[in-house]
Copies of this chain bind each other. A is one copy, B any other.
Amino acid sequence: MESILKQYTKAQIDRAKNIRALIFDVDGVLTDGKITYTEGGDEIKSFNVKDGQIIRHLRLNNFVVGAITGRSSKIVARRCAELKLDFVYQGTETKKAKLSEIRQKYGLKDDEIAYIGDDIIDLSLIKEVGLGMAPIDALEYVKAEADLVIEKRGGDGVVREAADFILAAQGKLDSILNSYY
């Protein structure tokens, strides 16, 4: 067993073994949930470099990786392009409908999908998918629905922790690490 798996339960590891797609919310997951404006009318958003490092390896391991968000911004488009995500759906009012679309497009079953969200709009997806996750600073009633609470706060590497876990559960993390020596 890969060493980072010690902190997870057998049930969580079993769920992670089936995952072929990692989907996440943006504000509060990829970011710290701050909505930042300038007096001159610009907007600012911060992501985490550690999330980017692992997304590259998810893609190399043929995972479907994408983002669904209720808001809309060119910043998110820029960051998601940089991360070479399979998809980014912005301005999504009903995430549930969007998930059906994704499932069909990529031929995914519910238990092959992992989802990370932090607010009420994410509740149904967290409950529905095979591995529903929420960051430590999500609302209590959102974390209550999650199969796994990520120990990082939004924007501090939530996707990294989730992806490291999934890759380790599937026995793929050690060989990634070894490739860097």
Q: Which residues of A contact B (CB under 8 A)?
A: 3-4, 27-28, 33-50, 52-53, 71, 73-75, 78-79, 118-121, 123-124, 127, 137, 139-141, 155-157, 160, 164, 176-177, 180-181
- CB-nearest residue of chain B to A181: B124
B177:A123 contact, CB within 8 angstroms: yes
Q: Which residues of B contact A28 (CB under 8 A)?
A: 49-50
- Inter-chain pairs besides A35-B79, A49-B71, 20 sampled, C-beta below 8 Å: A27-B49, A28-B50, A33-B50, A33-B157, A34-B46, A34-B47, A34-B49, A35-B49, A38-B38, A39-B73, A40-B42, A41-B74, A42-B42, A50-B139, A53-B120, A53-B121, A120-B176, A121-B180, A123-B181, A124-B180
Q: Give the docked Cα–Cα distance between A38 and B47 (Å).
A: 12
Given the complex of chains A and B, what is the CA–CA distance between A30 and B41 in angstroms? 19
**How long is the Cα–Cα vector from A47 to B28 in the complex, in angstroms?**
12
- A39 surroundings in chain B (CB, below 8 A): 42-44, 73-75
Chain B positions within 8 Å of A157 at CB level: 33
Chain B residues within 8 Å of A155, by CB: 34
Question: Could you tell me the distance between the alpha carbons of A131 and B79 in the complex, rounded to whole angstroms?
Answer: 34
* Chain B CB within 10 A, most for which of A37, A42, A157, A180: A37
* Neighbouring B residues of A118 by C-beta, 8 Å: 50
Interface core residue of A34, A42, A49 (most chain B CB under 10 Å): A49
In the complex, the answer to whether A37 meets B44 with C-beta atoms within 8 Å is: yes
